[in-house]
Structure 1
């Protein structure tokens, strides 16, 4: 039997270094095909399928990035190569590549099983049935590796949020990337808001955000700030990759200004979205007094670390009057968001 790892990028190479099974990389990038990466040949799907009858080939899809759907890719591959055994990378996480864990929100099923009681307590705090089914589906996906368990919702389908937003609300998008989430906010509110503040430390991402909003928003209604929300004010090393993977790194040579949540306060209703590549919990912890007194609406990314949701709820549940919702906006379990709405 021949094993293929589909995707010779970050995740595929990380898994490849962790397994002992002989394999080849399978990739669609023409410049990679025919090369050798980490001592493994790189081929494409057509060449891989020629290596024998389909029942003797196993292909693990090793791609996990925003907007990428394993289920859609699996169906596309099967349509062209009927009978090919296509499997998700999560099967390897639970077997021969378990040493890669933890990876983002993935952890060993044993470790996760020991926390299910804590998640049951969180479920009882949630304010609607869709939040509870979203959490249940996400946990089932993490336990089994089955993408079919995921319950996802479009980012613009947030009636519980729209119902409480003031037409003068200030929306602070911390970790704005290229402005895609802020654009969803503008569409969701039909342009009824006071001000947008896009906070993004990567200059290339921020430049793309400025171009995105050139025709979407009058200059007086939007501010762009090249900063990183953190747990301290000052300067910190930053890896500017020009992608969703840009993140703070104390060892990086490039420096970026870091700020606290309170540095983005304004009059009236305040709505803060935090998607800052795993730095969400320290940022909230450092600003908990500000959150307690100011009581902004919060949308917190809780998929960068296995315990992000547990830690976020632990920090916020003691603040009187917050209602909690959970939505997953990504087809592969990414963009799991905790929404905290003050009464």
Structure 2
């Protein structure tokens, strides 16, 4: 497929009419009394409250009697067969949610995207859709250039599928994908051997643990995690592994201090509203010795951390596995920046959920 074909395919996905428009209009109509539920605890679901009649939220893990923003929580097995369900699950497993609803006998299911399209602006598209469309409208030619430079057909197909999903929230584009986060960062083409590994955004050590299992002849691991709670968990988890240096700092493009949200689990991130002040460093300052494999998942801070790693990237030419899904522009920005250092890097793309999260760009 040429760059022009790629761009035309994306434009067609945006322009395509959404399915289930009749059901969407019925649910939006004043006075409708059909049982209606939402699934997915997120901003999109929250935005529907007060905009249409909702009887509850579907949550199989909520305790009996639980309420979320005024909506009673029920299990999927408790749904009335005639109920309509609005699927607001967009980040991890929208396809699996649709399948579970079908298995439960629920036939009237529509996505937040379909509801938004039928509402003539009264219901907002999912945040990821709004942001991705804005980026696509401004930088379609650069997206096409990115597509054209990817190293294999699997990468090009991944970009086409993930970008179409991010532009439409249509789960049909993700039906060929599975949630396989245990495989994240560890593709066969990396050919891991005797690596000096940097785990940037180490969380509780889960990625480093998997790295140690897959690459037992590694030379050294440097794990960066600014959250004290997460770092304690990582040290406990990795106590039986050798040659791991734990760095209680955030990686960025300069040393200093910055606010950090340490209460968000694996999504803990640098943020202006953070509850904790943490130390920052650069990879170039923190590690004097060469490194051979750098993984980064920093909740949108990757481009800053890469800028602070330029010496290592320029001199060591390490393998890179960089999360690119946090912002609409991350795919382009990270691709452009790394290739500005080494234009001959081969670029691969892989995806590890059925939604918009967990896309990784690899540079070899």
What is the TM-score when the length of structure 2 is the normalising length?
0.77
Contact 1:6 1:12 in 2 (8 A): no
TM-fit CA distance, 1:100: 6.2
TM-fit CA distance, 1:98: 6.1
Contact 2:284 2:311 in 1 (8 A): no
Contact 1:102 1:306 in 2 (8 A): no
- Partner secondary structure for residue 107 of structure 1: helix
Structure 1 residues 122-167: Cα deviation after superposition (integer angstroms, max 9, x where no partner): 11211111111111111121233223423647426512111xx441
1:6 counterpart residue number:
39
1:240 counterpart residue number:
262
Task: Choose which of 290, 293, 300 in structure 1 pairs with 2:315.
Answer: 293
Q: How does 1:1-343 map to 2 (within 5 A)?
A: 1-7=34-40, 9-16=41-48, 20-26=51-57, 27-31=59-63, 33=65, 35=67, 37=69, 40-45=70-75, 49-50=79-80, 54=82, 57-64=83-90, 68-80=92-104, 82-92=105-115, 99=124, 102-103=127-128, 107=131, 109=133, 111-113=135-137, 115-150=139-174, 152=177, 154-155=183-184, 158-162=187-191, 165-167=192-194, 169-189=195-215, 191-215=216-240, 217-218=241-242, 221-241=243-263, 243-320=265-342, 321-341=344-364
TM-fit CA distance, 1:113: 5.0
TM-fit CA distance, 1:291: 2.8
TM-fit CA distance, 1:328: 0.9
Contact 1:11 1:64 in 2 (8 A): no
TM-fit CA distance, 1:338: 0.9
What is the TM-score when the length of structure 1 is the normalising length?
0.82
Question: CA 1:323/1:264 → structure 2, altered by over 3 Å: closer, same or farther?
Answer: farther
Q: Give me the whole-angstrom Cα distance separating, in 1, the residues matched to 2:68 and 2:153.
A: 49
- Count of equivalent residues: 322
Question: CA 1:106/1:298 → structure 2, altered by over 3 Å: closer, same or farther?
Answer: farther
Q: Give me the whole-angstrom Cα distance separating, in 2, the residues matched to 1:88 and 1:11.
A: 14
Unaligned ranges ≥5, structure 2: 1-33
Q: Give me the whole-angstrom Cα distance separating, in 2, the residues matched to 1:75 and 1:101.
A: 21
Contact 1:229 1:260 in 2 (8 A): yes
TM-fit CA distance, 1:99: 4.0
Question: CA 1:298/1:20 → structure 2, altered by over 3 Å: closer, same or farther?
Answer: same
Question: CA 1:203/1:24 → structure 2, altered by over 3 Å: closer, same or farther?
Answer: farther
- Partner secondary structure for residue 293 of structure 2: strand
- Partner secondary structure for residue 267 of structure 2: coil
